[in-house]
């Protein structure tokens, strides 16, 4: 009887404790099983199943790295918490504002930071570079605070640097309050802007090297410590070469991945997945669909081919009233990013429309915009390319009119009435 009472008391204690205790983590301290999918988890990625794919994540995006073209998305402009993917910005700000060889003495505030940790203690000595590896591989919140205090002077000061960088990159729906991503009311981004940030960060060789490292040995107080990357796709999924995982109760499971196969190089962001398994399988489904179905398409060639045909068909239509000739030469302006990935299922949906003037009044100046070529895919405009003149047609002078009259009189005289 006594044992039963003790059991009930202990049971009630744990029930009450876990019902009232707030549990907030940043990154992969979710105590779920380590997970990497089998082939059966990716069977839904055949070319005709985009609409049928079951994606658990609340928001996602696949972005072409070369052109920032959105290939796949859901709720990609919805503001969401981003957990430890925050550290992409933290690392970026540190790398751009700090000597990585500097030694940092760990303050008490950093050592006391909870959630996922590198394991730093007050007064530990470690270089900025090793803190960055601890930040991005181990997802150490203690490393994040140490770096923020070292570079920004305070957490608020570092948040200013983070938000200034976000503004510099043109972000409208992103705001940072912390360097680690633990849940707070005004700490948020969108899948789209997180993808843009990731693309920017990965262009820095130091950053790319860090997040592409599977295992690394840092030094704390002169003693080595080997850490492993929390990114479950790195080293396992073909083409993945970075970048960051994330988990808090408010953000759920998040994952940002860079993946390249052949010439196609993309960033995949999933936010708000219910489990680690879902964030992994969601990422794989989206990446597999992308590489199976998208191919690089040269829209400059499509534009030129259609434009050449149009010019041939309208070669006799050009007239210049009061001009010394009707020989108007036109051409397309160059495209900044002419080669972008296109879903092969949409190849037959490419439409080219050309609107161009054929009648002019002299003078006609060179480099004058006289029309546009519009390329659309599935009724969505992809490119609007200006059409411009490349030569100048002068207005006839009195002498020109006199020469015309003379030539006409000569023709009549030689050929009779």
pLDDT tens for each residue of 21-71 = 334 445 555 444 455 554 444 434 444 456 678 999 999 999 999 999 999
Active-site annotation holder among 57, 76, 84, 257: 84
Flag whether pLDDT at 12 surpasses 60. Answer: no
What are 267's two structure tokens?
């960033």
Interval 190-214: pLDDT, tens: 999 999 999 999 999 999 999 999 9
Burial of 346 (0-12, 13-18, 19+ CB in 10 A): middle
Once rounded to an integer, what is the mean pLDDT over residues 138-150?
Answer: 97
Residues 6 or more apart whose CB falls under 8 angstroms from that of 103 comprise 125, 126, 127, 128
| Pick from 262, 257, 254: nearest CA to 237 | 257
| Pick from 331, 314, 411, 398: nearest CA to 371 | 331
Which CATH architecture fits 314-398?
Sandwich (2.60)
Flag whether pLDDT at 361 surpasses 50. Answer: yes
Flag whether pLDDT at 119 surpasses 90. Answer: yes
Task: State yes or no: is 139 an active-site residue.
Answer: yes
Is residue 403 very low, low, confident or very high in pLDDT (cuts 50, 70, 90)? low
Q: Cα(256)–Cα(245) distance, rounded to whole angstroms?
A: 6
Task: State yes or no: is 19 an active-site residue.
Answer: no
Whether 100 and 150 have beta carbons less than 8 Å apart is answered as no
pTM: 0.83
Once rounded to an integer, what is the mean pLDDT over residues 163-186?
Answer: 97
Answer positive or negative: Cα dihedral of 340, 345, 348, 350: negative
Active-site annotation holder among 81, 87, 244, 277: 87
Domain boundaries, the chain: 39-295, 314-398
Whether 44 and 36 have beta carbons less than 8 Å apart is answered as no
Residues 6 or more apart whose CB falls under 8 angstroms from that of 17 comprise none
Q: Cα(413)–Cα(417) distance, rounded to whole angstroms?
A: 8
What's the mean per-residue pLDDT of the chain? 88
Q: Cα(364)–Cα(287) distance, rounded to whole angstroms?
A: 51
Interval 257-309: pLDDT, tens: 999 999 999 999 999 999 999 999 999 999 999 999 999 999 999 999 999 99
Active-site annotation holder among 116, 139, 198, 283: 139
Domain spanning 39-295, CATH class = alpha beta
Higher pLDDT, 1 or 193: 193
Burial of 12 (0-12, 13-18, 19+ CB in 10 A): exposed
Task: State yes or no: is 84 an active-site residue.
Answer: yes
Interval 309-328: pLDDT, tens: 999 999 899 999 988 888 99
């Amino acid at each position: 009887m006594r044992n039963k009472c003790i059991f009930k008391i202990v049971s009630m204690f744990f029930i009450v404790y876990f019902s009232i205790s707030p549990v907030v983590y940043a990154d992969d301290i979710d105590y779920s099983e380590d997970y990497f999918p089998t082939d059966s988890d990716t069977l839904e990625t055949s070319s005709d199943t985009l609409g049928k794919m079951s994606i658990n994540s609340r928001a996602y995006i696949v972005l072409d790295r070369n052109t920032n073209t959105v290939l796949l998305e859901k709720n990609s402009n919805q503001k969401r918490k981003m957990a430890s993917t925050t550290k992409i910005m933290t690392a970026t700000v540190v790398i751009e504002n700090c000597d990585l060889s500097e030694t940092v003495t760990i303050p008490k505030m950093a050592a006391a930071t909870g959630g996922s940790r590198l394991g730093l203690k007050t007064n530990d000595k470690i270089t900025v570079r090793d803190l960055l590896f601890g930040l991005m591989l181990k997802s150490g919140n203690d490393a994040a605070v140490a770096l923020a205090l070292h570079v920004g002077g305070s957490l608020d000061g570092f948040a200013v640097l983070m938000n200034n960088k976000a503004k510099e990159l043109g972000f409208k729906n992103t705001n940072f309050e912390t360097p680690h991503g633990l849940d707070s009311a005004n700490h948020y981004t969108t899948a789209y802007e997180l993808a843009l940030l990731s693309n920017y960060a990965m262009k820095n060789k130091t950053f790319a090297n860090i997040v592409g490292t599977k295992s690394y040995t840092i030094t704390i107080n002169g003693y080595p410590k080997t850490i492993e990357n929390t990114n479950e796709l790195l080293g396992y999924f073909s083409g993945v070469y970075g970048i960051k995982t994330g988990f808090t109760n408010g953000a759920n499971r998040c994952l940002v991945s860079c993946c390249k196969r052949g010439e196609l190089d993309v960033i995949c962001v999933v936010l708000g997945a219910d489990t680690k398994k879902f964030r992994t399988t969601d990422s794989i489904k989206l990446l597999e669909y992308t590489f199976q179905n998208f191919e690089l398409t040269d829209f400059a060639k499509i534009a030129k081919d259609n434009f050449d045909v149009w010019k041939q068909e309208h070669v006799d239509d050009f007239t210049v009233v009061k001009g010394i000739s009707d020989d108007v030469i036109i051409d397309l302006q160059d495209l900044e990013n002419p080669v972008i990935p296109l879903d092969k299922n949409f190849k037959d949906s490419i439409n080219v429309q050309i609107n161009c003037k054929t009648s002019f009044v002299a003078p006609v100046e060179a480099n004058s915009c006289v029309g546009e070529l519009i390329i659309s895919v599935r009724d969505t405009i992809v490119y609007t390319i200006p059409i411009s003149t490349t030569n100048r047609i002068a207005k006839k002078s009195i002498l020109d009119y006199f020469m015309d009259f003379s030539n006409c009189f000569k023709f009549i005289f030689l050929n009779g009435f």
